[in-house]
């Protein structure tokens, strides 16, 4: 996963995020979504095993949550102010 993140960081052109901090924020959100989205969501499998719930029942409940998370990811990726406002106020960004 780290190798994929490094490759994405080297993207040039229209799809590259201008700020490394924003890239990190977007990457963390995307990895969190990936850990709970079917079919390879390891976090989802672990949660179903711990809660002794069936995967079919759980997926129908998690889909609206994932939709909201993807919208938040798009907002963080395409509106830099939204993801960088707090780091800028705390002077954590350059």
- The whole-number pLDDT of residue 9 equals 58
Task: Quote the CA–CA distance of 42 and 3 in Å, as a whole number.
Answer: 19
pTM of the model: 0.71
Per-residue pLDDT of 25-61, as tens digits, reads: 888 999 888 888 877 788 888 888 999 999 888 888 8
The C-alpha atoms of residue 41 and residue 50 are separated, in whole angstroms, by 14
On average, the pLDDT of the chain sits at 81
Annotated domain spans of the chain: 19-89
What is the distance between the alpha carbons of residues 27 and 33, in angstroms, rounded to a whole number? Answer: 10
- Check if the beta carbon of residue 74 is closer than 8 Å to that of residue 81: no
More reliable by pLDDT, 50 or 81: 50
């Amino acid at each position: 996963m780290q190798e994929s993140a490094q490759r994405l960081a080297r993207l040039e052109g229209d799809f590259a995020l201008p700020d490394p901090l924003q890239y990190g924020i977007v990457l963390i959100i995307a990895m969190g979504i990936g850990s709970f989205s079917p079919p390879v969501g390891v976090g989802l499998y672990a949660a179903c095993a711990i809660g002794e719930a069936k995967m079919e029942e759980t997926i129908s409940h998690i889909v609206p949550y994932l939709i909201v998370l993807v919208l938040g990811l798009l907002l963080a990726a395409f509106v830099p102010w939204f993801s960088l406002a707090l780091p800028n106020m705390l002077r954590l960004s350059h």
